[in-house]
Chain A
Amino acid sequence: MSARDEILSAVRVALRDADRSELDVPRDYRSAHASGDIVALFEERVVDYRASFARCTPDDLVSTIRAALGSASKILVPQGFPVELDGVPDADDLDSYDAVVTTAALGIATTGTIVLDHGPGQGRRALSLVPDVHVCVLWENQIVGGVAQAVARLDPARPQTWISGPSATSDIELNRVEGVHGPRKLHVIVVNEG
């Protein structure tokens, strides 16, 4: 018998005498919403991870991005990013780039998380990983209250990267230290509606 058939048959034997009727899964947690100003909550939670945060109008988006980039000179700006910036869309030697600027699929207020699904304006996954600085731009209406609302909006077929603050580790005496392998600096910018 193949390993596959043997494992499947072992599963069936193991469950021979079990009551296999479906259990009810309580789903009321899905109606629990963060109340009040979710953009303010998002800001508070992003800052709590020691990421930097800025809000701007569509008109000062470019200058806000430039301020976040600081002295970074070699910049990646993926295809489909909505405003004109001085950068290249992709490269082979990602490690030689200082910063990357992307959009995101959505933001989660209660956890201060940004989710990239690597669509237009976000680039392939390695782009927002290898450079040391990541500037991520979201629009206010992309921010949802909680994890349940985020999962409901996301498309499982797309690769996703959920990012909550800069790369960090708690492996040394369980103290959180920022900056291991991912970007050590994360700037989140939220653009106000009109």
Chain B
Amino acid sequence: MSATFVGMPAFPVAAREALADSQLRRNLEHATHTIRAKRAAVVGEVDEWEELRLAGAAIKDNTLLHLDEYLLQLEESLQARGVTVHWARDAREACDVVARIAQTHGVDEIVKVKSMVTQEIGLNEALAAQGIVAWETDLAELIVQLGDDLPSHILVPAIHRNRAEIREIFRRRMAAAGRPAPENLSDEPAELAAAARLHLREKFLRAKMAVSGANFAVAESGTLVVVESEGNGRMCLTLPEVLVSVVGIEKVVPTFADLDVFLQLLPRSSTGERMNPYTSTWTGIAPGDGPQEMHVVLLDNGRTRALADDVGRQALRCIRCSACLNVCPVYERTGGHAYGSVYPGPIGAILNPLLKGVGVDEQTDSLPYASSLCGACFDACPVRIDIPEVLVHLRTKVVDAHREGPPKAEAVAMKSASWVLSDARRLGFAERGLGVASKVLDRVGRRVLPGGRRALGRLPWPGSLWTNARDVPAPPAESFRAWWRKGGRP
């Protein structure tokens, strides 16, 4: 359970490795196409879908633009209902708070509701270092944890595993973590789910402390919301005596009434269902029902950095539905690991640089380029985050952060292209040169692009920097201008 994203290579390197894994590509293609069709069907049922998207975006924007006021209101509401509120600037502070609470109660194991934010802060590893075991209780998280693996999708962290692989993980690893898998376990999804039910039930029933995230935190009432499918969330939120919820500061919504937008947008975008099986809401301590000690950790960890970026700020609207992953042609082929973060896919390509800052490490700086800018993510986003706009904005920031030192080959090429294209005579001369080159290259072009045009193979360095991941069409024998001068005849 020590797998970590730390030290992952930049996207182009990691993607190349993922693309060579044909099993992974089959698993991903099947999964993303299934979920896309489900989402499209249930979104199509809602006539007012576009209006809900606009409402969702506006509510989140209004909250973000007054985040200081809403956070103070949330703190007050939570405290009024008996919840202890902690603030954490970064991952380490947040993990320390959780570990301290566990130590106060003398517990050496906790149960966890699937939560992106606790993965972001590396909570399990931090607790392990203090001798506290954190059991993941979501089925996919359990598969990842038992397999000593990394999550590859926001909603379905084990999307890269098929049923046969999951059976193997359960058979080999469950025994060491508690109740073993049944002897004759098959790879039927229903049997695999039943094995997880038995394995985890004893953990739920004995757990003294649980850690959750929250999908929404209502400032006005102090209500927290967890949206889930399996019931593991309900188990964690109601059976233990102590509950700690780690909540990113961007999760605030102003009023309980605003949930009527998000509880429509989230399930349909996320699992492609009209409604997810279970949603729990709780407003502090309910006497005689559920945990009687509650803590909320409000976490920054780069969110105020993202908030300061006037173009990137919209990424903080994200409700972690993962619709953008499922429609992304890049994600569909590379999978989530290539993004080197718990936030993969299009949203990860903007969220990671916004949270961590650009110009700090090569891996993060590579992410804004992990996109063809096709825009499918923006269309699918329930809170209308214009991901392509933010990607282009972040590319500019990455380039700006690397202004010093020798210019890159790409920059030199762009400069010379600009010199050629800015003058008609120079352009004409270059076009004639390309025509000659074409006659030669047309014979050596080994590949044919869709539409019948020949493509060049790999170019030698420095052209290889471009052709390693891109097709270069063979130049045409004749330019448009030359053709036009001849009277437009072939």
State whether A24 touches B260 (Cβ < 8 A): no
| Majority-rule SS of B interface residues | helix
A173 cross-chain contacts in B, Cβ below 8 A = 27, 30-31, 34, 162-163, 189
Q: A174 CB to closest chain B CB, in angstroms?
A: 5
Cα of A88 to Cα of B29 in the assembled complex, Å: 50
Contact A26-B51, Cβ < 8 Å, known A159-B290, A174-B159: yes
State whether A125 touches B290 (Cβ < 8 A): yes
Interface range on chain B (Cβ under 8 Å from partner): 35 or more
The contact string, 1 if C-beta is below 8 Å from chain B, for chain A 11-23, is: 1111101111011
State whether B239 touches A32 (Cβ < 8 A): no
Cα of A30 to Cα of B52 in the assembled complex, Å: 10
A177 cross-chain contacts in B, Cβ below 8 A = 189-190, 193
Contact residue among A8, A28, A118 (Cβ-Cβ distance under 8 Å from B289): A118
Cα of A14 to Cα of B306 in the assembled complex, Å: 8
A133 at the interface (CB under 8 A from B): no
The contact string, 1 if C-beta is below 8 Å from chain B, for chain A 134-172, is: 000000000000111011101011111111111111111
B156 at the interface (CB under 8 A from A): yes
Cα of A172 to Cα of B249 in the assembled complex, Å: 32
Interface range on chain A (Cβ under 8 Å from partner): 35 or more
State whether B190 touches A161 (Cβ < 8 A): no
Cα of A42 to Cα of B173 in the assembled complex, Å: 42
| B261 to chain A: closest residue by CB | A29
Stretch from B63-71, B327-335, B434-442 contacting the other chain: B63-71
**In chain B, residues 45-76, which have Cβ atoms closer than 8 Å to a Cβ of chain A?**
47-48, 51-52, 54-55, 58-59, 61-62, 65-68, 71-72
**In chain B, residues 107-164, which have Cβ atoms closer than 8 Å to a Cβ of chain A?**
137-140, 143, 156, 158-159, 162-163
Cα of A183 to Cα of B256 in the assembled complex, Å: 28
Cα of A10 to Cα of B35 in the assembled complex, Å: 39
B278 at the interface (CB under 8 A from A): yes
| Majority-rule SS of A interface residues | loop
A103 at the interface (CB under 8 A from B): no
A2 cross-chain contacts in B, Cβ below 8 A = 87
| A123 to chain B: closest residue by CB | B289
A3 cross-chain contacts in B, Cβ below 8 A = 86-89, 93, 300
A165 cross-chain contacts in B, Cβ below 8 A = 277
State whether A27 touches B55 (Cβ < 8 A): yes
Contact residue among A10, A20, A183 (Cβ-Cβ distance under 8 Å from B300): A10
Cα of A105 to Cα of B218 in the assembled complex, Å: 21
**17 A-B contact pairs sorted by A residue (CB < 8 Å):** A6-B89, A7-B300, A10-B304, A11-B304, A11-B307, A22-B62, A24-B58, A48-B274, A158-B286, A160-B279, A162-B280, A162-B281, A170-B156, A175-B189, A179-B194, A180-B231, A181-B201
> What is the interface of chain B, defined by CB distance below 8 A to chain A?
27, 30-31, 34-35, 47-48, 51-52, 54-55, 58-59, 61-62, 65-68, 71-72, 86-89, 93, 137-140, 143, 156, 158-159, 162-163, 166, 189-190, 192-194, 196-197, 200-201, 204-205, 218, 220-221, 223, 229-232, 234-235, 237-239, 249, 256-257, 259-261, 263-264, 271, 273-283, 286, 288-290, 298, 300, 304-305, 307-308, 310, 313
Beyond the given pairs A168-B229, A169-B139, A171-B230, 8 more chain A to chain B contacts, judged by CB atoms under 8 angstroms and listed by A's residue number, are A3-B87, A3-B88, A8-B68, A28-B48, A124-B289, A156-B223, A174-B34, A182-B234
> What is the interface of chain A, defined by CB distance below 8 A to chain B?
2-4, 6-8, 10-15, 17-20, 22-30, 32, 45, 48-49, 95, 108, 110-113, 118, 124-126, 129, 146-148, 150-152, 154, 156-175, 177-183
Sort A-B residue pairs by CB-CB distance and give the 8 closest, nearest first: A182-B231, A181-B231, A14-B308, A10-B304, A180-B230, A162-B279, A156-B256, A171-B140
